[in-house]
Structure 1
Amino acid sequence: MTKETAALRDRMVTIGDIAKRAGVAPSTVSRALSNPDRVNAETREKIQKIAAELGYIPSPLARNLRMGSTGTIAVLVPDVSSPVSFQIVRGTQNQIKATGYTHVLINTEQAEDFELDVLRRLRRTADGAILGSSSLTDEQLAQLASLQPLVTFNRPTPGVSAVLIDTATAMGDAVSHLASLGHTSVTYVGGPSTSWSNAQRWQAIEAAAQKLDMSANRIGPYPGDKKSGAAAADEVLTVGSTSIIAFNDMLAIGILQRLSELGISVPADLSVVGCDDVMGADFCNPPLTTIASPIEQAGRMAVSILLDRMAAADGSAKPYTTTLPSELVVRASTGPARGPAR
């Protein structure tokens, strides 16, 4: 390798660099690399050899334009500030970056009209989209998926590919864990009423409690944020349960803080369980018993499924749904039952 070649390889090599070395016009280089049949064999081989020697990497944008592609994948989340959304974004971003596509993040703020409008406009500006906890109806999602490759997260919809996390089984495990500690009652602090996960979790809790001869009730719905945990804690205290399972960790953390303010000991007076095992759940006071979910892995898998659908340009790819397991992580926020909360 000559010094000149080494210097070129230390920066982004252009078509002009190859043209200069080959002694041909840049347009000839472009044809040789993108439409090789339009260039005579001798010139084509010379250009391709020089391109390989210089380490030329074709522009993703140019490649995408030739293929009628935007080179962009959109990821829509309902609340970009939530820990779960953050993990979804981190998983999708790492996977998308490895493919050469551009990652576009959109915060829908749980606004159905805005989400629908954005998805309609994305048909012109993105090759596909991943939806985190969509608030759209099944009919709307199915129609959109027929026009553009889509993958949903924790939202099974007929005709639409999805990645699901099975938190319901682990919720049943949480109820069994509480029963083993002597609890005879559990209150579920519900999340958003439009959430598929919320409905699944409550059904699992109710079924497990019935099998174990425990009383189970539900309060809410509450937004899945820490601020709402204070109101949820106050309502739980009127019910008299000895244990709580919250829709997610942020609600559970808010509940812990409110109970501390009221002088109610966790787990001596009340046991508390969260869901998602977000960053900081193990630093609470006390550390939070929760359901650990592979959210980043789900984000990566959603990208892989979306790419498969995008590769089937004729729309022949059938909808594909996969489910990932979750598990109960026991920490200090659950303990033996010692009578009703005061």
Structure 2
Amino acid sequence: MDSSSTSRNDRPATLADVAARSGVATSTASRALSNPGRVNAVTRERIERAARELDYVPNSQARALTSGRTRAIAVLVSDVTNPFYFGIIRGTQHQLKAAGYTQLLVDTEESDELEDGMLHKLRRSFDGAILAASRLTDRRLTALAAEVPLVAINRQTRGVASVFIDTPSAIEQAVGHLASLGHTRIAYAAGPDTSWPNAGRWRAMLRAGDRYGIDVQRVGPFAPRKYAGAAAADAILHSGVTACVAFNDLLAIGMLARFRERGVDVPGDISIVGCDDIFGADFCNPPLTTLTAPIEQAGRTAVSMLLSRLDDGLTPVARHATTLPTHLTVRDSTGPAPGDDAGRTAPTKGNPTP
């Protein structure tokens, strides 16, 4: 009696037994038995023959493995403490719960290496992934989309299903709003260089600057967090502009605090616009003019797109791209440009940090 027969007498055959007898990886055996079209005919027949010889019958757990369905979806965010992601996480969780899926939340800490590594480390734990503001390069993201069913939020990359929040259009609205208030020198306080939306927002600033005949400058990059607002505010004051568009609301809120420390009046001395309209943006002093985005809707839409692809049997249908509109919400942090001396270094109090 051979070893495999002995194994069957001792315990039911497992998928690993089938893989070992066939001389293939367990993942290959899984694909052959659950999605035969994804494995070449010769290999598939060898695996199927091994399964018959071993009397392999999947139990409920094994069926989940061989079908590739864990009923879990990984949701990766760049910074779980950033309120922008609260809406996305809420949207994805509600939609996944309704569909009978579990959400695996991963904080990638603004790191492309951590993002890539966690996707591979956890690969057997989820059916697909939603990447919110991915820090991966276009090339790496495209390659990953060929390996893993995924949807990217706030990213537009060829060959990758995506939900794009159209903040560039609202950036142009913001510049038009500032131009209407008489501002002719505007700065963009940039976010991380690895952020795809950051590049898109800067391009939108340049387009709008050309349209309205406005001098547009870029300062940064800065971390997309409140603490970075102090350095961003100091850089803005040094630049001599009369208005600023910040990469996100957290950065803008940190800038408001720094301006207040330095005795700079907002919007009397300088106007500021944020991005995302996170919870608390309207509680600032002054309330923040910002770009309002349908953040929770983006999470729900991404889940619907991903589950639709999974239900189609992982076929490459679907390089779908959905764009969600945004708009400018005007509050008290923007106002008319100051007089001709606006290019001066703003007044300070205390002992400012240069």
How would you bin the TM-score normalised by the shorter chain?
Answer: 0.7 to 0.9
Contact 1:156-1:164 at 8 Å conserved across structures = yes
Query: Percent sequence identity over matched residues?
Result: 53
Gapped regions of structure 1 (runs ≥ 5): 1-59
Q: Which residue of 1 aligns with 2:80?
A: 80
TM superposition shift of 1:197: 1.0
Letter in 2 for 1:153: I
1:180 aligns with 2:180: yes
Secondary structure, counterpart of 2:291 in structure 1: strand
Q: What CA distance in whole angstroms lies between the structure 2 residues aligned with 1:122 and 1:302?
A: 20
Q: What CA distance in whole angstroms lies between the structure 1 residues aligned with 2:61 and 2:161?
A: 27
Q: How many residues align?
A: 283
Q: What CA distance in whole angstroms lies between the structure 2 residues aligned with 1:182 and 1:308?
A: 48
Gapped regions of structure 2 (runs ≥ 5): 1-59, 347-354
Letter in 1 for 2:71: G
Q: What CA distance in whole angstroms lies between the structure 1 residues aligned with 2:67 and 2:146?
A: 20
Q: What CA distance in whole angstroms lies between the structure 2 residues aligned with 1:301 and 1:127?
A: 17
Contact 2:149-2:314 at 8 Å conserved across structures = no
Q: Which residue of 2 aligns with 1:167?
A: 167
Q: Which residue of 2 aligns with 1:28?
A: none
Q: Which residue of 2 aligns with 1:126?
A: 126
Residues 87-108 of structure 1, C-alpha deviations (whole Å, 9 max, x = no match): 1111101110100011110111
Residues 61-112 of structure 1, C-alpha deviations (whole Å, 9 max, x = no match): 7984684411111101110000111111111011101000111101111222
Letter in 1 for 2:278: V
Letter in 1 for 2:250: M
Counterparts in 2 of 1:314 and 1:239: CA distance versus 1, 3 Å: closer
Contact 2:68-2:127 at 8 Å conserved across structures = no
Deviates more, 1:65-74 or 1:194-203: 65-74
Q: Which residue of 1 aligns with 2:35?
A: none
Counterparts in 2 of 1:166 and 1:68: CA distance versus 1, 3 Å: closer
Q: Which residue of 2 aligns with 1:338?
A: 338
Letter in 1 for 2:97: K
Q: Which residue of 2 aligns with 1:317?
A: 317
Q: What CA distance in whole angstroms lies between the structure 1 residues aligned with 2:63 and 2:97?
A: 16
Contact 1:61-1:70 at 8 Å conserved across structures = no
Q: Which residue of 1 aligns with 2:202?
A: 202
TM-score normalised by the chain length of structure 2 = 0.77
Letter in 2 for 1:275: C
Q: What CA distance in whole angstroms lies between the structure 2 residues aligned with 1:159 and 1:169?
A: 23
Secondary structure, counterpart of 2:276 in structure 1: coil
Letter in 2 for 1:102: T
Q: Which residue of 2 aligns with 1:233?
A: 233
Contact 1:120-1:144 at 8 Å conserved across structures = no
Q: Which residue of 1 aligns with 2:245?
A: 245
TM superposition shift of 1:287: 0.4
Q: Which residue of 1 aligns with 2:265?
A: 265
Letter in 2 for 1:278: I
Secondary structure, counterpart of 1:183 in structure 2: coil
Contact 2:190-2:221 at 8 Å conserved across structures = yes
TM superposition shift of 1:333: 0.5
Q: What CA distance in whole angstroms lies between the structure 2 residues aligned with 1:139 and 1:238?
A: 37
1:190 aligns with 2:197: no
